[in-house]
């Protein structure tokens, strides 16, 4: 058998083995949506194109280096693929260059990483072992002094395959590299390795933006904000919480599907369900985070800007100049603090908080953490709130304090004695455990409210609670469909599952449920409105959620959006109320087929991309260094 194989160059064998392995990962381990036969074909060929492009380089090397190159290229490629798979299992996303620079977070992940690694993952390195065996055992057989003609042939084929792949991708998805809000589209059309090369180029371009920025870019952006996002109209709630202490609770990984819902006949979040009746509750409120997750939600609340399409702003642009919620409130006599029982360096918070003007950060060193009162990511929520009270009572008033919970975090582990609701029964351990940790967090918030009431200062607070990001990724769609009693989770359902609770509780106010759409980017102007703080000189893409002149859409970071009437995602336009698919962007439409994209999603989609691009320009160019927020004028404030 071997005498037949050895007639095939080793770089070709390596390309075939690596291509097959990569395709299996794409097709069966990543949850990549395939809408038509063309997408199936492109997904199949791009792993082989990428593999051949790399391994064919070996023909240009000296004979003694050929085998070593193929061995290490196979190993490195497999590690890149595997790291993406592990990351994808948690975040349903792919690695980016900024995420790699967040490696300092990895030491704190603990059980989260272990839960993402499976024993059978070793099979993903089977091709590497085969290549190493062949290259070592039959070095002299596979090592060849290639003639110029064969070198040129290998090079020509590499370029031809690459161009063919790109042409097919452009046919399937026009302007693929210009419309890059969705990393999944890049991976399924050009492959994960070409996507990483593209990511490196994009990150290099973003670094250059700050160098060449001069502040003139802000003129156009300010005009856009004034025309589309600014709302200074008065409402009955304007200043209703003026000079009150503001407590903001970040509800870790809490999605709205558990609110007012049951498991085994029991309410999952009984306290939140009750407090909603006494609060302003927004039931169509969406998280807008990306790879920075909790830190992205903090960024949205503090700045009114969108997080970046890759990496976490807290890491990549923590030294930028911003006009934060903390700084706005400080100008009105407020002190500010954050309570979070985790390492201060996680998500680069120690640097970013200082830059945002936050006065005090109570990190893990401020708490007594033991084996009994901690699990998973650290201190359980109940002792976290209990130990925080003494610090809260010592703060100068009025104050703005944010609490970031931990227990309801992947992999959603909880000690048996802390569980007060049975697990769900599905094929997803993650979803099964999620309900228990969500219930535990709900109970911890109830205890915290009781403690505030016992302090006698409850009436002096405004308490805001917000889910920070999704907890259950689309990797668990089958189990989620089972819980929601659906046949499957469609792209429409996926967007609706990005809703998170947003609750504004003002003691003494009756409150009500508000069904208008909103997102985390709207939190900053909303808080300023109820606290009676003048933010007329602020620059933000958010709109006061209590106002009438609301923006007509909520933009998600991947370019999807929710409008009053429509939901747009993955090039598909849905009726927001019914979930009915109206038309795909990639299809033609006649009047008989219904409304065209021209009159539905396309115009809003263009504005969404414009708004996301403007936000990116502010961050990449550090444009706020050119702006004086005291008088609202542009001026050179370079550090």
Reported residue count of the chain is 639
SS (H, E, C) 426-454: CCCHHHHHHHHHHHHHHHHHHHHHHHHHH
CA distances for 419 relative to 250, 252, 263, 341, 381, angstroms: 21, 17, 13, 21, 13
- DSSP letters of 308-360? PSSS-HHHHTTTS----HHHHHHTTT-EEEEE-SS-TTGGGHHHHHHHTT--E
Q: Is 250 helix (H, G, I), strand (E, B) or coil?
A: strand
Is residue 98 classed exposed, middle or buried when 0-12, 13-18 and 19+ CB atoms within 10 A define those classes?
buried
Contact (Cβ atoms closer than 8 angstroms) between residue 325 and residue 524? yes
Number of helices (H) and strands (E) in the chain: give both, helices first: 23, 21
CA distance 545 to 514: 9
| 198, HSE (Cβ side, Cα atoms, 13 Å) | 20
Active site residues: 294
Give residue 400's region: left, alpha or beta (phi > 0; psi -120 to 50): beta
CA separation for the pair 472, 429 (Å, rounded): 11
Rounded Cα–Cα distance for residues 186 and 265 (Å): 43
Among candidate residues 168, 192, 185, the one with its CA nearest the CA of residue 37: 168
Phi, psi of 464 (to 5 degrees): -115, 130
């Amino acid at each position: 058998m071997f005498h037949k194989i050895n007639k095939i160059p080793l770089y070709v064998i390596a390309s075939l083995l690596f291509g097959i392995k990569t395709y299996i990962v794409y097709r069966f381990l990543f949850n990549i949506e395939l809408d038509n036969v063309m997408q199936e074909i492109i997904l199949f060929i791009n792993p082989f194109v990428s593999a051949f492009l790399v391994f064919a380089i070996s023909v240009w090397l000296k004979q003694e280096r050929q085998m070593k190159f193929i061995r290490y290229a196979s190993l490195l490629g497999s590690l890149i693929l595997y790291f993406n798979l592990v990351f994808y299992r948690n975040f349903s996303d792919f690695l980016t260059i900024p995420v790699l620079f967040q490696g300092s977070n990895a030491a704190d992940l603990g059980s989260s990483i272990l839960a993402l690694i499976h024993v059978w993952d070793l099979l993903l390195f089977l091709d590497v072992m085969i290549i190493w065996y062949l290259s070592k055992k039959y070095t002299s057989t596979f090592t060849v002094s290639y003639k110029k003609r064969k070198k040129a042939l290998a090079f020509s084929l590499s370029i031809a395959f690459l161009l063919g792949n790109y042409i097919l991708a452009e046919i399937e998805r026009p302007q693929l590299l210009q419309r890059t809000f969705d990393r999944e589209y890049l991976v399924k059309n050009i492959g994960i390795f070409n996507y990483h090369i593209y990511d490196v180029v994009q990150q290099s371009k973003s670094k250059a933006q700050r160098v060449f920025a001069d502040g003139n870019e802000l003129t156009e952006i300010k005009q856009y904000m004034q025309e589309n996002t600014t709302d200074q109209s008065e409402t009955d709630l304007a200043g209703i919480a003026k000079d009150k202490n503001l407590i903001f609770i970040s509800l870790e990984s809490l999605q709205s599907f558990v609110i007012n819902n049951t498991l085994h006949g029991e309410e999952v979040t009984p306290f939140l369900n009750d407090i909603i009746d006494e609060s302003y509750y927004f039931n169509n409120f969406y998280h807008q985070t990306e790879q920075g997750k909790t830190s992205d939600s903090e960024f949205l609340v503090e700045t009114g800007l969108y997080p970046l399409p890759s990496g976490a702003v807290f890491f990549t642009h923590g030294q930028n100049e911003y006009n934060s919620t903390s700084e706005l409130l400080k100008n009105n006599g407020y002190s500010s603090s954050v309570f979070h029982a985790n390492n201060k360096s996680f998500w680069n918070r120690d640097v970013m908080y200082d830059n945002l003007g936050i006065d005090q950060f109570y990190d893990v060193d401020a708490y007594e953490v033991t084996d009994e009162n901690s699990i998973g990511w650290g201190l359980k929520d109940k002792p976290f709130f209990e130990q925080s009270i003494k610090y809260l009572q010592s703060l100068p008033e009025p104050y703005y304090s944010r609490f970031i919970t931990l227990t309801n975090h992947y992999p959603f582990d909880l000690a048996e004695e802390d569980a007060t609701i049975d697990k769900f029964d599905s094929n997803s351990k993650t979803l099964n455990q999620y309900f228990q940790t969500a219930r535990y967090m709900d109970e911890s918030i109830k205890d915290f409210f009781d403690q505030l009431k016992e302090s006698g200062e409850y009436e002096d607070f405004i308490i805001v609670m917000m889910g920070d990001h999704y907890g259950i990724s689309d990797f668990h769609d089958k189990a989620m469909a089972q819980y929601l009693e659906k046949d499957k989770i469609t792209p429409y359902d996926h967007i609706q599952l990005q809703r998170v609770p947003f609750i504004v509780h003002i003691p003494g106010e009756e409150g009500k449920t508000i069904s208008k759409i909103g997102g985390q980017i709207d939190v900053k102007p909303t808080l300023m409105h109820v606290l009676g703080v003048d933010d007329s000189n602020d620059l933000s893409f958010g709109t006061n959620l209590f106002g009438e002149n609301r923006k007509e859409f909520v933009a998600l970071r991947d370019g999807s959006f929710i409008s009053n009437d429509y939901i747009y995602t993955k090039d598909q336009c849905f009726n927001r109320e019914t979930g009915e698919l109206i038309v795909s962007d990639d299809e033609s439409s006649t009047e008989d087929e219904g409304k065209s994209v021209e009159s539905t999603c396309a115009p809003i989609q263009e504005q969404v991309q414009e708004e996301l691009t403007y936000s990116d320009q502010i961050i990449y160019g550090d444009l706020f260094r050119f702006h004086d927020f005291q008088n609202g004028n542009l001026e050179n404030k370079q550090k």
